[in-house]
Structures are given as C-alpha cells and as structure tokens.
Amino acid sequence: MTRALALALLLPLAAFAEDAPAKKLKTDSPIRQKRVKEFLSGDAEKKTLAMAEAAKWLTVPAAAASKELDMLRRHVPARGLFKDPKGQPLLRGLEKYKVGGKEFEYQWAVPKDYNPAKPTPLLIYLHGSNGPQGIGPWDGWAASKGAILVAPASPNRQYWHPVDGATDPKEYEETFFFTHMKAWREKFNLDWNRICLSGFSAGGFGSWWFSLRYPDWWAAVMPMAGGPPANWGERGPYEHVGKLPYWVWHGELDKDVPVDIDRKGVEWLKKIGTPCEYKEYEGGDHNTWFGKDPEIAKTVLKVIEGQRRIVWPKKVVWTWDQLFLKTFPGITRVAGAWWLEMGEHGERARLEGEITAPNVVELRVKDVKSARVLVFADLFDLAKPIEVKWEGATVFNGVVEVDFEMMLREFAARPDPNRIVVGEILVNAPAGK
C-alpha cells in the first residue's frame, strides 16, 4: 500500500474522531476581568459570549482568580426606584408576563424606604386553594416592616404541588416557581440570606413541598394550616432540610386539612433535630391563621428580622425513594442541595456528606454509585488539597482550581454572591463498595 493511499484511508476516520478535546487557552487576569465585567453588564449577548469564551480557558489556582471572585461577590445590579407613569413612587403592583408561552402572575409590595441599592429581605406568600389572594391578607404590613412581599399565583390557581384528584401529576410542573424566583431577583435587590417562605392551606402544603425539595434557598419556612403531602409518612425526605428552621401553625379542629398531617410532619422534623416551633390552636378551625391571630404576623416579622439562611451546613443529606416518583409521576427530579448532589443510584438511596475536618469530606451511602461535590471558595481552603472519602476510602485527594465556565454558568443560574461555585469533584464508588 502506498503512503498516499494509507493517508487517504486514515483521514476520513480522523475527521470524525471525538477523542481529542478542544485545547484549553491560557489567559491572564485582565482579560478574564474584562469578560466577567461584560458578563455582569446585564447585556444578554455579552453574557452569552463571555460564558462561551470562559469555556475555553484553563483552570487556575484560586489565588490567581481572586479579583474575578471579588467582582462576583460585590456585584450589585443597577436598579432604580419603581415609579408610576406620572413619575410618582410605586410601592406595590401586579406583574403579568409570559415565558415559553406560559403565563405568570404575582403581586408585590416593597417597604416605604426601599433602597434598590441595598439588599432587602423577601417574604413569599403562597395562597390557598380558593385562588390568588394577592397581597391583600398582608396589606400594609410589608410596606411598613422592611421586607419585600411577593404573592404569586400558582399555574392552576389552586395548588402548589401535585394533588391526587385535584391536579394531574403528569401535567404538573414545578419549575414555574423558579421562573418566579428569576423574575423577583431581576426586579428586586434581594438579600439572599433572608428569603422566607410561607403560605396558608394549599400554600402551607406548598411551603412544605418547596422547602423539603429545595432547602438551600430559605432562611425560614412558616406554613399555616397545611402539612407535608399526607402519603409521604416516614418515607418523606425530611432529612433534606437539616437545620433549616420551621414555624408551623394549625387549628385543632380543622376539617379541611386534618391537623394530624402537620403534627406528623413536625414530629419527623424534630426527630432529625430540625428547629421547629409548632402552635396548635385549641378549638381552632381551618381559618385559624394570621388573619385571626395577629401574633402570627408578629412572629413572621421577628423571623424575617432575625433569621439568616444557613449557607454552609457541615452536614448534608440527600435521599431518593422510587415510591416518591410513583406517587408524584412527572415531577421535576431534584438531585441535591447546598454542596452535595447524588449521581447514579438505586430505588431507595441515601447520600450523606459531612465535612469532618478542614478540607475533608466524608460520604456515607446507601445504594449510591456516584456523587458530585460542589466546591465553593468560602467552604474550602482552595490553596490546599481537598480529600473526599467514600465510606472511609479516599476517592479524591487534590487541589481544585477555578473553572471559570462553571463559575459563570452557575452564577447565571443563581446569582447569589454568598455562594460562588468555582469547581466540582465527581466521585464514584470504589470497587467493591
């Protein structure tokens, strides 16, 4: 065979080969800072281009990326005061918008002294099954108490989680809630460590639902006359919330939502050591809530003023039960929270991660084959190696450098200056585990 013929036969194969990854580019800090500035400019096209370019950069030690990290930490989006068509200050309003052909709606109110340059706490109120009540039940409260209040409407204008016989689980989709979250963080300057979740009746169920599935968002959870989905029982994912505090209210003689649902939920929270204050109104019916008891509103205010999100829990637990998917088919699958995510796993799995010493992560697993540890600049000493142990066996030990594409992508999805992801550690179960 001639050399020319050999090359002719080999070239088509080389053209379709996918085993050679694109070469990463070395960049200096001034170039990276310029791109991060463009990423933060608010220009969607510049943000996309900056992320695309960052995907080509080499990782660098954390010390070499300190200026870029500070730019994200200190970033405050430019916002102005809300004004009506006549230029007068606007302290409340109704927003309607569409995303992907779907309609979204929420009412809002801001404090009288709202300063768009200052991070402000947020209270989310979820309505009952009788439909959106807006901010009416809290009228005048948020505007004078230093918190932003938002009252969204659920897509079916009744429920916040799939309810057998009331909503079709196959059509239920909860990502709408985070479409609202995206809208709120773009409209308001939020204090990410002071976002509180509350709701009445169906909204009480919604408060349990979103907190158990997405626990790392909240400073506190305050359900009224609701409960965790009744058929969860002891198989419910209560461990997810860790030390996230709850304040729960319910009437003893509630005929619409049996009080026993909340009682059992509170019992399971207390079993795992979650801070939980529960008040049951003797002789109270379904309408025993803040509208009837002004002390609830005072408690909510006290919680907003004093409670802060647990940003860096040393211990994180994530579970999966296949029965959950059978009970709620078609729901969004959630893999983890805080700094730990579950990878490949079986039908009833449990992943527990604990930082047992500086830069040492211990994983304890049941029916789990892989996991992802998110690396944050404020959680680990990035100048030193991080060790990850899987049931006592070391599966990773090394220095994690800053991955700019990941950092910008994660920040675009969740622009939380207190939680900046710089990299990841992907680990698999050791042989024989």
3-class SS of residue 224: strand
Q: Which domain holds residue 63?
A: 20-73
Q: Is 392 exposed, middle or buried (0-12, 13-18, 19+ CB in 10 A)?
A: exposed
Q: pLDDT band for position 99 (50/70/90)? A: confident
257, 272, 306 — which closes off a domain? 306
Distance, in Å, from the CA atom of 110 to the CA atom of 125, rounded to the nearest integer, reads 14
> Considering Cα of 57, then 60, then 62, then 64, what sign does the dihedral take?
negative
Q: Is residue 97 part of a domain?
A: yes
Q: Residue 416 in contact with residue 410, Cβ under 8 Å?
A: no
Q: What is the pTM of this model?
A: 0.90
**Count of helices and strands (H, E) across the chain:** 11, 17
Q: Which residue has the higher pLDDT, 6 or 365?
A: 365
End-to-end CA distance of the chain: 51
pLDDT at residue number 22: 58
Tens of pLDDT along 273-332? 999 999 999 999 998 776 678 888 889 889 998 999 999 999 999 999 888 777 777 777
Q: Is residue 175 part of a domain?
A: yes
Q: Is residue 78 part of a domain?
A: no
Q: Is residue 13 part of a domain?
A: no
Query: pLDDT > 90: what percent of the chain?
Result: 62
Q: Which residue has the higher pLDDT, 185 or 288?
A: 185
Residues 148 and 231 in one domain: yes
Tens of pLDDT along 212-250? 999 999 999 999 999 997 666 666 789 999 999 999 999
73, 104, 137 — which closes off a domain? 73
pLDDT at residue number 23: 62
Of the given ranges (13-22, 39-48, 365-374), which has the lowest mean pLDDT?
A: 13-22
Residues 374 and 286 in one domain: no
Q: Is residue 367 part of a domain?
A: yes
Domain count across the chain? 3
Which single residue is written with the structure tokens 């998110």? 374
What is the average pLDDT value for the chain, to the nearest integer?
87
DSSP 8-state assignment for residue 142: H
Q: Residue 187 in contact with residue 152, Cβ under 8 Å?
A: no
Residues 299 and 331 in one domain: no
Count of Cβ atoms closer than 10 Å to residue 235 Cβ: 13
Query: pLDDT > 70: what percent of the chain?
Result: 89
